[in-house]
Amino acid sequence: MANTSTRTLRLLSLLQAKRYWPGGELADRLGVSPRTLRRDVDRLRELGWEVNRKRVQRLWREEGLRVPQRKRKRRRLGESTVPAERLRAQRPNHVWAFDFQFDQTADGRALKLLNIVDEFTRESLVMLVARNIDADKAVSVLEALAAERGAPELLRCDNGPEMTAHALRDWCVLAKTGTAFIEPGSPWQNPFVESFHSRVRDELLDVEEFSCLAEARVVIGDWQQDYIRRRPHSSLGMLAPAVFAASVALAAAAGV
């Protein structure tokens, strides 16, 4: 009786009470009840009961039984060290935002872009183009960038598998970088990289057709340099990101 589910026992007791089938020893031989009506019927037939589906279905209704609803799997979420919705960059290297973007070459094969943006200077720090980019590759890119510019104080990103992987978490701990994960399905909480993505999409990905990975890397690299060095940005006083970053560095050196 220890392995008999409550639902199956209720069904058997009701069947016997209504005199549909005699006997009481069958309940002692029942295993765990199946999850569906059809499987309940098959299980009872396997145990020697002469039962049809309609009769068991009627008993289901009388007892208020139903198939359990499927539950959505719990998604692993990153743990923020600061609330993403209240975070605003105050200086260069304060907050880096990074995310992925997708396109394809003329042969239909996927292209994946890893974009990293400094939220204060609006500089495009990285536009990595590859067929596939996993968490380990993203960490290696961050390591190289941090070696060149210094590690950021905070990383803003979504809860994609690459962002919540142990490799990235370990790098953040070692680099003493905090994390600001946006809420699932809330891209507006990562506005700077989303704005950058819209420019990349409108001015580049929706315009150019790449014949191969090598061509995509060259064209995207040229666009990135033009964006950084020559593209005025309204939020930067109509200065290009690289020009604005240089002016901030000069002001900091002068103690302004």
Tokens coding 104:
């394809």
Q: What percent of the chain clears pLDDT 70, i.e. is strictly above it?
A: 64
Is 151 within 8 Å of 178 (Cβ atoms)? no
pLDDT at 129 (0 to 100): 96
pLDDT at 1 (0 to 100): 41
pLDDT at 72 (0 to 100): 57
Mean per-residue pLDDT, 187-204: 81
Digit-coded pLDDT (tens) for 103-147: 999 999 999 999 999 999 999 999 999 999 988 898 899 999 999
Say yes or no to pLDDT of 24 above 50. no
pLDDT at 167 (0 to 100): 75
Digit-coded pLDDT (tens) for 214-234: 999 999 999 999 999 988 888
Q: What is the residue extent of each domain of the chain?
A: 6-63, 84-253
Please give the CATH number for the structural domain made up of 84-253: 3.30.420.10
pLDDT band at 60 (very low <50, low <70, confident <90, very high): low
Look at 130 and 41; give whichever has higher pLDDT.
Answer: 130
Look at 225 and 181; give whichever has higher pLDDT.
Answer: 225
